[in-house]
C-alpha cells in the first residue's frame, strides 16, 4: 500500500489574498489544512519605539499608518490616552467631530473590508460598488484635513481645526462637458456638513445594493455559512473583540459599555450574530454600516446647531493664533516652546481603548514626566485575531482559509506595527 504523507505549503507573502504581507506555512493533507503557522513581521516598523523617541504630537501621524484603513480611530485612542494623563477633556464640539469622523472611518473600513472580502471569494462587482462610496468619504477626510487617508487631524485637547464651510469642487478639464462637471459637483455646492448629510441620505440605498449582491447570493452563502465558526468560549479565550466577538453572540461594544466622548448621548443599535461563522460576521458588519450612518446623521445635526471651539484654549497644548504672536510676547513664547519642545505629560501609566472598526484598539502609555512617551504599547485588534487563524482554519479547505482571512478583516499595518 502506498504511503500518503502530508506536505508543507507556503502561502504568501506576495499573494493578493494575503491582504498585505502575510506569510503562512501550511501543513496540508490533500486540500485540507492540518495546521498552519502564520509568519508575521514583514511590515514591522517599530512604531512603538519610534514613538518613544519623539514628542507626543509627532506620533499622531504614525497612528494613521497602523491600521491604514481606519486612520482616525487609531489617532483617537492615542489622543485619548494622552488626554487621560494630562487630565484634560476636549470641548464638546470637538467630541462630536471626533465621533462623527470615527463613524465615517468605520464605514470606510467596512467598505474596504466588504469589497476585498467579496473579491477574495469571487465576487468582483461589490468591490466596485464599495469603492464608489468610499471615495466620497475620502473627500470628507480631505476637506477637513487636506489628506485623503493619513489625516493627522485629532490633537490632544480637540481637533486641528473646525469643519470647513465649503466643500471643494471638481474643476474639470477641457475634455469634460459643463454638464458632466456639474453632475460631479452636484453634492458639493454647500458645506462639508451638507455633503455629509447628502451622503447619509444616499448611503442606506447603497447598502441595500451591496446586500442585493450578496446577502441571498447562493455562492456567497456557500463560501461563508459555517466557515470559520468561533464559539463564544473560543472568542473569549483568544482575546477577540469587535465584530469577531459580536459575531459569536456577545453584545460587547465599547461605545456602549465604556462610553467615551459623546457616545452615551447618541442612539445606535449593536448588531449581534448567533452562529459565529463568517456569514454572521458579514451581517454584523453590514448592519454596523447602517448604524454608523445613523450616528453620523445625529452628529451632523448637533454640529449644525452648536458652533463653538474645537480645541482647548490652553497654549501649552495648542498653538496660539498667528495674529496674537505678532503682538504678544506670551504667545510667542508658547509657540516657540510648543514647536521646539512639545508639552510635558505628568508621570503615570494609562490604558485607553476605542471601538475601532476591527475591534478594541488600545494604547497603553507610560510617562515619566518628559515631553516624549516612555513606553507606548499599541493593542491592535487584528493581532489576537490573526493569532487564532490556525485554530479557525484547521480542518477547512485551502480556499476557505482565504475566506477566513477575509472575515478577520486583517490589515498588516496594525498587526506588525
Partner 1 sequence: MGYSQALLTRVKELSGDNDSRVSVRNGEITIEPDRGSFIPLLKTLKSDPDTCFEQLIDLCGVDYQRYGEEAGRPWQGDRFAIVYHLLSVSRNQRLRVVVGVPEDDLKVESVVEIWRAADWYEREAFDLYGILFEGHPDLRRLLTDYGFVGHPFRKDFPLSGHVQMRYSEEKKRVVYEPVTVEPRVTVPRVIPKGA
156, 162 contact by CB (below 8 A): no
Closest approach, Cβ 180 to partner 1, in A, equals: 48
Q: Which is nearer to partner 1, 196 or 230 (CB)?
A: 230
Near partner 1 by CB under 8 A: residue from 32, 125, 229, 236: 236
Near partner 1 by CB under 8 A: residue from 204, 257, 264, 321: 257
Near partner 1 by CB under 8 A: residue from 75, 360, 409, 414: 360
CA separation for the pair 179, 184 (Å, rounded): 9
**Of 109-117, 129-137, 178-186, 364-372, which segment contacts partner 1 by CB under 8 A?**
364-372
Q: Residue 140: which residues within 8 A CB-CB, separation 6 or more?
A: 101, 104, 192, 195, 196, 199
Based on the shown chain and the rule CB under 8 A, indicate whether residue 88 belongs to the binding site for partner 1: no
**Distances 319 to 32, 257, 260 between C-alpha atoms, Å:** 59, 35, 25
In the window 53-72, what residues touch partner 1 (CB under 8 A)? 53-55, 58
Closest approach, Cβ 240 to partner 1, in A, equals: 8
DSSP string across 25-64: EEEEETTEEEEEEEE--TT---HHHHHHTS-GGGGHHHHH
**Distances 213 to 228, 368, 393, 405 between C-alpha atoms, Å:** 22, 54, 26, 21
Based on the shown chain and the rule CB under 8 A, indicate whether residue 371 belongs to the binding site for partner 1: yes
Based on the shown chain and the rule CB under 8 A, indicate whether residue 48 belongs to the binding site for partner 1: yes
Q: Which is nearer to partner 1, 96 or 343 (CB)?
A: 343
Residue indicated by cell numbers 456567497: 220
Q: Which is nearer to partner 1, 44 or 183 (CB)?
A: 44
Near partner 1 by CB under 8 A: residue from 49, 132, 183, 304: 49
Based on the shown chain and the rule CB under 8 A, indicate whether residue 330 belongs to the binding site for partner 1: no
Q: Which is nearer to partner 1, 212 or 349 (CB)?
A: 349
Near partner 1 by CB under 8 A: residue from 7, 131, 336, 351: 351
**Cell numbers placing 167:** 466643500
Which 8-state DSSP code applies to residue 162? Answer: P
**Of 215-223, 265-273, 309-317, 341-349, which segment contacts partner 1 by CB under 8 A?**
341-349
Q: Which is nearer to partner 1, 303 or 388 (CB)?
A: 388
Q: Which of 413, 399, 416 is nearest to 112 (CA)?
A: 413
Based on the shown chain and the rule CB under 8 A, indicate whether residue 387 belongs to the binding site for partner 1: yes
How many Cβ atoms are within 10 Å of 254's Cβ, its own excluded? 19
DSSP string across 93-105: HHHHHHHHHHHHH
Closest approach, Cβ 53 to partner 1, in A, equals: 5
Based on the shown chain and the rule CB under 8 A, indicate whether residue 364 belongs to the binding site for partner 1: yes
Based on the shown chain and the rule CB under 8 A, indicate whether residue 187 belongs to the binding site for partner 1: no
Near partner 1 by CB under 8 A: residue from 372, 382, 407, 414: 372
CA separation for the pair 194, 19 (Å, rounded): 35
394, 33 contact by CB (below 8 A): yes
235, 245 contact by CB (below 8 A): yes
Which 8-state DSSP code applies to residue 47? Answer: H
Based on the shown chain and the rule CB under 8 A, indicate whether residue 241 belongs to the binding site for partner 1: yes
Phi, psi angles (nearest 5°) of residue 88: -120, 160
CA separation for the pair 146, 320 (Å, rounded): 21
Near partner 1 by CB under 8 A: residue from 375, 394, 397, 399: 375
Binding interface with partner 1 (CB under 8 A):
40-41, 44, 46, 48-50, 53-55, 58, 84-85, 236-239, 241, 245, 250, 252, 257-258, 260, 340-342, 344, 346-353, 360, 362, 364, 366, 368-372, 374-375, 377, 379, 383-384, 386-388, 416-417
Amino acid at each position: 500500500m502506498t504511503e500518503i504523507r502530508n506536505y508543507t505549503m507556503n502561502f504568501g507573502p506576495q499573494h493578493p489574498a494575503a491582504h498585505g504581507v502575510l506569510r503562512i506555512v501550511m501543513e496540508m493533507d490533500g486540500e485540507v489544512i492540518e495546521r498552519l503557522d502564520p509568519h508575521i513581521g514583514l511590515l514591522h516598523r517599530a512604531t512603538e519605539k519610534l514613538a518613544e523617541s519623539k514628542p507626543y504630537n509627532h506620533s499622531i501621524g504614525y497612528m494613521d499608518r497602523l491600521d491604514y484603513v481606519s486612520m482616525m480611530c487609531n489617532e483617537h485612542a492615542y489622543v485619548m490616552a494622552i488626554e487621560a494623563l494630562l487630565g484634560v477633556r476636549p470641548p464638546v464640539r470637538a467630541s462630536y467631530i471626533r465621533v462623527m469622523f470615527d463613524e465615517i472611518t468605520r464605514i470606510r473600513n467596512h467598505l474596504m473590508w466588504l469589497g476585498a472580502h467579496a473579491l477574495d471569494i469571487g465576487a468582483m462587482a461589490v468591490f466596485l460598488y464599495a469603492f464608489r462610496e468610499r471615495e466620497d468619504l475620502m473627500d470628507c477626510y480631505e476637506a477637513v484635513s487636506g489628506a485623503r487617508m493619513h489625516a493627522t487631524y485629532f490633537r490632544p485637547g480637540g481637533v486641528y481645526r473646525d469643519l470647513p464651510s465649503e466643500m471643494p469642487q471638481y474643476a474639470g478639464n477641457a475634455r469634460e462637458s459643463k454638464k458632466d462637471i456639474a453632475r460631479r459637483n452636484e453634492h458639493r455646492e454647500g458645506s462639508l456638513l451638507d455633503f455629509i448629510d447628502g451622503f447619509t441620505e444616499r448611503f442606506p440605498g447603497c447598502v441595500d445594493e451591496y446586500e442585493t449582491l450578496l446577502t441571498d447570493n447562493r455562492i456567497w452563502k456557500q463560501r461563508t455559512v459555517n466557515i470559520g465558526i468561533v464559539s463564544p468560549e473560543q472568542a473569549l479565550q483568544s482575546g477577540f473583540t469587535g465584530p469577531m466577538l459580536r459575531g459569536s453572540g456577545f453584545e460587547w461594544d465599547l461605545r456602549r459599555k465604556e462610553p467615551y466622548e459623546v457616545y452615551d448621548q447618541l442612539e445606535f443599535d449593536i448588531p449581534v450574530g448567533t452562529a459565529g461563522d463568517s456569514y454572521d460576521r458579514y451581517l454584523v458588519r453590514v448592519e454596523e454600516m447602517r448604524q454608523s450612518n445613523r450616528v453620523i446623521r445625529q452628529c451632523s445635526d448637533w454640529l449644525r446647531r452648536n458652533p463653538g471651539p474645537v480645541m482647548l484654549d490652553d497654549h501649552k497644548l495648542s498653538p496660539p493664533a498667528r495674529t496674537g504672536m505678532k503682538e504678544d510676547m506670551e504667545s510667542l513664547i508658547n509657540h516657540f516652546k510648543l514647536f521646539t519642545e512639545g508639552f510635558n505629560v505628568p508621570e503615570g501609566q494609562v490604558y485607553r481603548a476605542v471601538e475601532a472598526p476591527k475591534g478594541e484598539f488600545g494604547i497603553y502609555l507610560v510617562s515619566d514626566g518628559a515631553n516624549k512617551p516612555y513606553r507606548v504599547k499599541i493593542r491592535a485588534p487584528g493581532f489576537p485575531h490573526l493569532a487564532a487563524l490556525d485554530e479557525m482554519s484547521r480542518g477547512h479547505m485551502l480556499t476557505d482559509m482565504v475566506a477566513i482571512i477575509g472575515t478577520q478583516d486583517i490589515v498588516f499595518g496594525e498587526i506588525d506595527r
